């Protein structure tokens, strides 16, 4: 279990993390979602005791990271796959990590085998592709067989096969009762791999909960096809409905339920051919949630929230 | 149950890191090459020119420091070894992985220090005993030689190795403070080369008072059998140098512990 309480981190002139509160529980995969520069990596660094919070705290199993007795047995983390000395072999890199926590070297060969890079174990890490480095980083996180795992954007650089492998792998770690905390800036990725999500924007918590709750709470719309679209449109507008899309096929209506639309159409004497509630995709939910807090918008204009 | 992470396990881990990169291997080869190569060069030249050396020069000639002079060049190589041992962790970002395995930063710094001191002591002593022996062999028959059975000779040779060890720790401590390899090595070279040159422009009386505090002058005193004019004696030099290095290391550890990694 990871607990983040009133966490704030200021770098000279930027507030990277702003009064953040959330918990990450065992047995599920928790996605940590936010646009670029929203403070995900900073939060993870603070959890690992690498950066000192300006205010608040982050604890792992109720303790600050530096107080953990056997860090690699308790927490495994992968922050940046390329942050390894390029001149060292994969095996020596893992052996140095293992030695620091009294993990037997046989475990190094086991994890190398498990992530599928045993054949290049004696090659210099500097020659590794990003995908191979990611696998090496995951091997490092698994060394101590920890209960809690943190991964910062782990699917970066993986091929489709690798992405599927890592999703199944996270799932199996969670099924074993471990705490799995994975950051991403892609909602679509989280939609398929996470159970719970924590969404942040500009360092602030936007929402947290299960993926299902989040989609359910999202504004949906209803697609209507009728015999007279113009007449229906007028009737809906009179009842505060918002028509978001109109074409020859039909209308997309938000702010009104299917039942309300049916009643309005009936009262207006319009014949309905089709009435389909549509759930917002998670991607839409995410865009909607974070639209006010995108740090680096593509328009180049910084929007104030 | 004892903790899995202890100073001993950190030392084992850091030893694997220290020996598994090329920069260490190259650094050690260069250290030996500079100590032995320059030692051989200087002793051969001394032997060839011995017949034109004045009686006064002969009277103050020190066969020990002459044969150990390569150490004053090898100090740059051990500085590179010491600084890269820590700055490479910052430049590659691997310091974050290291600290997630060893979160107590003083423990990490101490572990690295032990590995550095132990290995540089062995390399420094091997280099200084070897260059001393080669130098005396080159001198023999023509130039007066010194023997290790003389305690002040033995002291100078042992101190030469210690000087190299201490300077690698000086550079390492600068690395903890400055984090960047280039900045660290520049400052290190400035301390050894540039400050003594600046000192040359000071009034002579100041120079005489000041020079003995320069690490390079302490090195000179440490590898000599006789006392060097205006310098501390060999043992005082060693003690002051240990003081410098310990103070800088302590500051380095405090800064390293406080700053974000
Ligand atoms: N060491 C630092 N010094 C100064 N500013 C920093 C530092 N680290 C992060 N920041 C700033 O803090 C903010 C949050 O950065 P962070 O890297 O945590 O975001 P992120 O959510 O991980 O983004 P991304 O999706 O791009 O990885 C950014 O504005 C960044 O510029
Ligand atoms: Mg990031």
Please give the torsion angle defined by the CA atoms of residues A289, A292, A298 and A300, in that order, rounded to the nearest 10 degrees. Answer: -170
Return the pLDDT at A159: 87
A contacts of B98 (beta carbons < 8 Å):
100
Q: Is the pTM of this model over 0.90?
A: no
In this structure, is residue B1 part of a structural domain?
A: no
Alpha helices in chain A (DSSP H): 40-47, 71-74, 90-100, 105-115, 130-142, 160-175, 187-193, 211-217, 229-238, 258-268, 282-290
B140 within 8 A of B42, measured Cβ to Cβ: no
A68, A77, A85: best mutation site toward chain B, by most B Cβ within 10 Å? A85
CB A203 within 8 A of CB A290: no
Instruction: Using an 8 Å CB-CB cutoff, list chain A residues near B5.
Output: 69-71, 100-102
As averages over each run of 10 residues, the pLDDT of chain A (305 residues) reads 96 94 96 93 97 97 94 96 95 98 97 96 95 94 97 88 91 96 86 90 91 73 89 86 78 85 91 84 69 59 40
Residue A79, helix vs strand vs coil: coil
Q: Which CATH class is domain A2-216?
A: alpha beta
| ipTM score | 0.91
Residue B119 has pLDDT above 80, yes or no: yes
pLDDT at A218: 65
Q: Which of residues 88-127 of B touch A (CB under 8 A)?
A: 88-89, 92-94, 96-104
State whether residue A122 sits within 8 Å of chain B by CB: no
Domain hosting B166: range is: 7-258
Who has greater pLDDT, B152 or B207? B152
Reading the block at residue A3, the tokens are: 């607990």
Confidence check: pLDDT of B104 > 70: yes
The CA distance from B261 to the nearest CA of chain A, in Å, is: 5
- Report d(CA B129, CA B151) in Å as an integer: 14
A221-278 maps to CATH 1.10.3470: no
Q: Answer yes or no: is B2 within a domain.
A: no
B2 in reach of chain A (CB within 8 A): no
DSSP letter at A125?
G
- For residue A248, the tally of other CB atoms under 10 A from its CB is 6
Number of domains in chain B: 1
- Greater pLDDT, B198 or B162: B162
Mean pLDDT score of chain B: 94
Element (H, E) at B248: helix B234-258
The residue among B92, B93, B111 whose CA lies nearest residue B102 is B111
Interface of B with A in 178-217 (CB under 8 A): none
Domain chopping of chain A, boundaries: 2-216, 221-278
pLDDT of residue A219: 65
CA distance A95 to B249: 27
């Amino acid at each position: 279990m990871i607990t983040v309480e009133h966490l704030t981190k200021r770098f000279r002139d930027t507030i990277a993390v702003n009064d953040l509160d959330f918990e990450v529980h065992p047995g599920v995969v928790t996605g940590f979602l936010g646009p670029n520069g929203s403070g995900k990596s900073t939060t993870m660094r603070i959890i690992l005791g690498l950066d000192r919070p300006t205010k608040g705290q982050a604890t792992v199993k109720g303790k600050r990271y530096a107080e953990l007795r056997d860090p690699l047995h308790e927490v495994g983390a992968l922050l940046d796959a390329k942050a390894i000395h390029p001149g060292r072999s994969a095996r020596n890199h893992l052996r140095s990590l293992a030695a620091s926590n009294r993990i037997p070297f046989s475990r190094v060969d086991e994890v190398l085998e498990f992530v599928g890079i045993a054949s290049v174990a004696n090659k210099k890490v500097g020659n590794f592709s990003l995908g191979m480095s990611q696998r090496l980083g995951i091997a490092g996180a698994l060394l101590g067989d920890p209960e809690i795992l943190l991964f910062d954007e782990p699917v970066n650089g993986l091929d489709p096969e690798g992405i599927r492998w890592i999703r199944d792998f996270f799932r199996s770690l969670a099924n074993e009762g471990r705490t799995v905390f994975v950051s991403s800036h892609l909602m679509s990725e989280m939609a398929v791999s996470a159970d719970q999500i924590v969404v942040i924007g500009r360092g602030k918590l936007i929402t947290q909960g299960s993926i299902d709750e989040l989609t359910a709470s999202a504004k949906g719309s209803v697609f209507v096809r009728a015999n007279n679209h113009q007449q229906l449109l007028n009737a809906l507008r009179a009842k505060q409905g918002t028509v978001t899309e109109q074409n020859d096929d039909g209308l997309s209506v938000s702010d009104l339920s299917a039942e309300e639309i049916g009643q309005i159409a009936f009262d207006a004497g319009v014949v309905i051919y089709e009435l389909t509630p549509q759930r917002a995709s998670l991607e839409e939910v995410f865009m909607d949630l974070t639209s006010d807090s995108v740090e680096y918008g593509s328009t180049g204009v910084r929007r104030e929230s | 149950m004892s903790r899995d992470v202890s100073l001993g396990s950190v030392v084992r881990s850091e030893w694997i890191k220290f020996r598994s990169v090329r920069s260490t291997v190259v650094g050690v080869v260069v250290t030996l090459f500079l100590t032995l190569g320059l030692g051989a060069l200087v002793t051969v030249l001394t032997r060839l020119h011995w017949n034109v050396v004045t009686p006064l020069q002969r009277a103050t000639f020190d066969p020990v420091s002459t044969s150990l002079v390569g150490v004053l060049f090898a100090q740059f190589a051990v500085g590179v070894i010491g600084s890269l041992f820590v700055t490479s962790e910052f430049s590659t970002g691997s310091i974050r992985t290291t600290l997630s395995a060893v979160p107590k930063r003083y423990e990490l710094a101490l572990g690295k220090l032990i590995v550095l001191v132990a290995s540089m002591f062995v390399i420094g002593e091997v280099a200084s005993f070897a260059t001393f022996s080669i130098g005396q062999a080159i001198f023999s028959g023509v130039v007066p030689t010194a023997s290790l059975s003389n305690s002040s000779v033995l002291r100078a040779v042992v101190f030469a190795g210690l000087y190299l060890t201490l300077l690698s720790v000086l550079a390492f401590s600068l690395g903890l403070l400055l984090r960047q390899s280039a900045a660290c090595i520049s400052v290190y070279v400035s301390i050894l080369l540039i400050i003594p040159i600046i000192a040359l422009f000071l009034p002579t009386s100041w120079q005489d008072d000041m020079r003995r505090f320069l690490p390079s002058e302490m090195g000179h005193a440490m590898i000599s059998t006789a006392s060097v004019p205006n310098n501390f004696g060999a043992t005082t030099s060693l003690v002051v140098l240990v003081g410098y290095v310990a103070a800088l290391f302590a500051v380095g550890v405090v800064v390293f512990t406080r700053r974000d990694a």
